[in-house]
């Protein structure tokens, strides 16, 4: 009887064995639906070693052996070399943790070249998809590069896909790639995305991220899906060395009297509802309770609206825009990136200050044009909500301004990373603008929890107009708030 291994929609099917060889019992189960044995595809590298001699036909892998040598002459830093070596020593399976700006992508390119198999790079955003496309094209000019996602479906020897598209289509092409590079790999361990790893037979797997930890602790599944963490360096360890030296400055603003009243009223309305229903927002459970109860009655809906209104008042306090104007005036020579929590504020800033804006709604071509103009100096300033949190190269920005953000530590680290690319004589400054005596103060504390940065706190801007920018100031600003 012909024994056959084949790939079937994200699984491996073994045919022609009257009974299952005992070495394979941990991987395969009998599937009565098709009268054959079936295993999860991601065990392929373990299975094939045990089964090779018993197998007449192996139709599972469709990936190719390629000759891949990076065409660009790189300056490989010691930490990149060490990272790659640790991955090679682990037979090409595992995760590497490097801070934003430390050249993760280059480690990915070197890994693809070393593995020399058809490779799929999986990324969370369209920007990153295009960035990887350009990187692969420059390094492997003789190999066709495909895009999967954002309207493309091109499965080629080297392909770049979004997590969404990869999760949707892995059933179809899980056997076309021998190497998987998972950029920003902390996205992987969710119910939907984990199939990218499980439905692939790729023997070589590399996960890259600056921040593997997830609040839901699902990063504990990464060793099984990709491999262990093999190498890890933090931003602080690399600062000054390969990253620019940086400062974090926290600026406080106050709500105006009317804003304060509206803020307090909203919170009172919300808290009344919370109290009546015995809810504490200190825990995740309390918050889920609030969400649930708020959808059930007009009072609950009012309370939720009040909650949002209060948050909006603090996040988008007009005093923040005045502070921003001052920061922009102070740093008009410096490349500056402004971060907001929501798109609406980003667009408002764009309209008010005439600053180019990138959100997830910005189309890829315009995004690229804005980033290019920023790179060559035609634009000095950029405002963005969350899309530039991750990965996308924002070259040479030296000033970051967090006007509003979430309490997620990863977001903070990523935003900081946007200004850390080292260049001659660069001193990076990250401003954090926080509304005094609102919940933003706590949010700001939480986002920096567990980090050992020294933060310079500035007094209230409302009362102290100058000097705010002491050592960086080179002209007096007469504006008052």
* One residue of 78, 217, 354, 470 binding another protein per CB under 8 A: 354
Judged by CB under 8 A, the chain residues 379 through 438 that form the site for another protein are 379-381
**Shortest CA distance to 436 belongs to which of 275, 250, 272?**
250
Of the candidate spans 108-116, 217-225, 296-304, 405-413, the one that interacts with another protein by CB under 8 A turns out to be: 296-304
Based on CB atoms, which residue is closest to another protein, 62 or 137? Answer: 62
* One residue of 152, 347, 453, 481 binding another protein per CB under 8 A: 347
Based on CB atoms, which residue is closest to another protein, 283 or 295? Answer: 295
Residue 31 makes contact with another protein by CB under 8 A? yes
Based on CB atoms, which residue is closest to another protein, 199 or 246? Answer: 199
Taking CB under 8 A as the rule, which mask of x and - marks residues 154-183 in contact with another protein?
-----------------x------------
Angle at the Cα of 258 (from 256 to 263), degrees rounded to 5?
Answer: 90
Based on CB atoms, which residue is closest to another protein, 295 or 460? Answer: 295
Residue 47 makes contact with another protein by CB under 8 A? no
**Shortest CA distance to 10 belongs to which of 190, 200, 178?**
200
Based on CB atoms, which residue is closest to another protein, 307 or 410? Answer: 307
Residue 29 makes contact with another protein by CB under 8 A? yes
Q: Is the peptide bond before 467 cis (omega within 30 degrees of 0)?
A: yes
CB of 431 to another protein, least distance (A): 15
Query: Burial code of 195-211, b = ≥16 C-beta within 10 A, e = fewer?
Result: bbbbbbbbbbbbbbbbb
Strand (E) or helix (H) holding 375: helix 364-376
CB of 379 to another protein, least distance (A): 5
Residue 292 makes contact with another protein by CB under 8 A? no
Alpha-carbon distance 478 to 469, whole Å? 13
CB of 205 to another protein, least distance (A): 18
Based on CB atoms, which residue is closest to another protein, 65 or 285? Answer: 285
Residue 8 makes contact with another protein by CB under 8 A? yes
CB of 25 to another protein, least distance (A): 13
- HEC assignment per residue over 208-262: EECCCCCCCCHHHHHHHHCCCEEEECCHHHHECCCECCEEEEEEEECCCHHHHHH
Based on CB atoms, which residue is closest to another protein, 39 or 243? Answer: 39
Residue 475 makes contact with another protein by CB under 8 A? no
Residue 195 makes contact with another protein by CB under 8 A? yes
Q: What is the DSSP string of 344-408?
A: HHHHHHHHHHT--EE-TTS-HHHHHHHHHHHHHTS--EEEESSGGGSS---TT--EEEESS--S-
Q: Are 402 and 448 within 8 A, CB to CB?
A: no
The Cα-based distances of 293 to 224, 265, 285 in angstroms read 38, 20, 12
The Cα-based distances of 263 to 3, 269, 316, 317, 402 in angstroms read 71, 10, 12, 11, 21
Residue 366 makes contact with another protein by CB under 8 A? yes
How many residues touch another protein under the rule CB under 8 A: the total is 47
Both tokens assigned to 144: 């066709």
Q: How many C-beta atoms surround the C-beta of residue 387 within 10 A?
A: 21
* One residue of 378, 423, 427, 465 binding another protein per CB under 8 A: 378
Of the candidate spans 203-211, 349-357, 415-423, 451-459, the one that interacts with another protein by CB under 8 A turns out to be: 349-357
Residue 211 makes contact with another protein by CB under 8 A? no
Based on CB atoms, which residue is closest to another protein, 35 or 470? Answer: 35
**371 Cβ partners below 8 Å, 6+ apart?**
358, 392, 393, 394
Alpha-carbon distance 266 to 304, whole Å? 10
Residue 11 makes contact with another protein by CB under 8 A? yes
CB of 63 to another protein, least distance (A): 20
Based on CB atoms, which residue is closest to another protein, 61 or 174? Answer: 174
CB of 261 to another protein, least distance (A): 22
425 φ/ψ sector (left φ>0, alpha ψ -120 to 50, else beta):
left
Q: Are 432 and 248 within 8 A, CB to CB?
A: yes
Which three-class secondary structure state does DSSP give residue 160?
Answer: strand
Based on CB atoms, which residue is closest to another protein, 82 or 348? Answer: 348
Contact footprint for another protein (CB under 8 A): 8-11, 29, 31-35, 38-40, 171, 191-192, 195, 198-199, 295-298, 300-302, 305, 325, 328-329, 332, 347, 350-356, 361, 366, 369, 373, 378-381
């Amino acid at each position: 009887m012909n024994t056959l291994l084949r790939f079937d929609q994200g699984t491996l099917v073994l045919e022609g064995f009257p009974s299952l060889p005992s070495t394979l019992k941990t991987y395969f189960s009998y599937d009565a639906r098709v009268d054959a044995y079936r295993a999860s595809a991601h065990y392929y590298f373990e299975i094939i070693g045990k089964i090779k001699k018993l197998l007449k036909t192996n139709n599972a892998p469709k990936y190719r052996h390629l000759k891949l040598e990076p065409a660009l002459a790189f300056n490989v830093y010691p930490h990149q070399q060490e990272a790659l070596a640790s991955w090679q020593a682990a037979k090409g399976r595992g995760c590497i943790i490097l801070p934003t700006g430390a050249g993760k992508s280059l480690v990915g390119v070197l890994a693809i070249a070393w593995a020399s198999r058809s490779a799929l790079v999986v990324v969370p955003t369209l920007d990153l998809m295009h960035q990887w496309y350009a990187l692969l094209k420059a390094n492997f000019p003789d190999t066709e590069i495909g895009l999967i996602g954002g309207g493309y479906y091109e499965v080629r020897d080297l392909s770049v896909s979004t997590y969404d598209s990869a999760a949707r289509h892995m059933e179809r092409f899980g056997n076309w790639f021998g190497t998987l590079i998972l950029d920003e790999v902390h996205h992987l361990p969710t119910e939907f995305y984990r199939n990218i790893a499980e439905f692939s037979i790729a023997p070589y797997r590399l996960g890259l991220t600056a921040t593997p930890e997830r609040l839901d602790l699902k990063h504990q599944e990464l060793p099984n899906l990709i491999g262990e963490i093999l190498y890890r360096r933090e931003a602080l360890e690399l600062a000054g060395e390969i990253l620019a030296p940086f400062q974090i400055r926290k600026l406080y603003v106050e709500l105006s009297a009317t804003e304060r009243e509206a803020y307090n009223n909203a919170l009172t309305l919300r808290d009344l509802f919370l109290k009546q229903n015995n809810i504490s927002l200190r825990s995740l459970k309390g918050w889920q309770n609030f969400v649930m109860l708020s959808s059930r009655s007009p009072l609950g809906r009012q309370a939720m609206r009040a909650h949002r209104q209060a948050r909006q008042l603090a996040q988008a306090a007009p005093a923040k825009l005045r502070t921003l104007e001052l920061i922009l005036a102070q740093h008009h020579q410096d490349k500056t990136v402004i971060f907001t929590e929501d798109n609406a504020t980003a667009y408002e800033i764009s309209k008010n200050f005439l600053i180019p804006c990138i959100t997830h709604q910005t189309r890829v071509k315009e995004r690229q044009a804005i980033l290019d103009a920023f790179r060559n100096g035609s634009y000095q300033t950029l405002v963005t909500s969350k899309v530039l949190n991750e990965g996308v190269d924002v070259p040479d920005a030296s000033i970051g301004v967090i006007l509003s953000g979430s309490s997620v530590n990863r977001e903070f680290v990523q935003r900081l990373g946007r200004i850390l690319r080292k260049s001659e004589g660069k001193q990076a400054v990250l401003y954090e603008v926080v509304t005094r005596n609102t919940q933003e103060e706590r949010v700001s504390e939480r986002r920096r929890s567990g980090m050992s940065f020294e933060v310079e706190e500035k007094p209230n801007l409302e009362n102290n107009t100058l000097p705010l920018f002491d050592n960086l100031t080179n002209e007096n600003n007469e504006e008052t708030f």
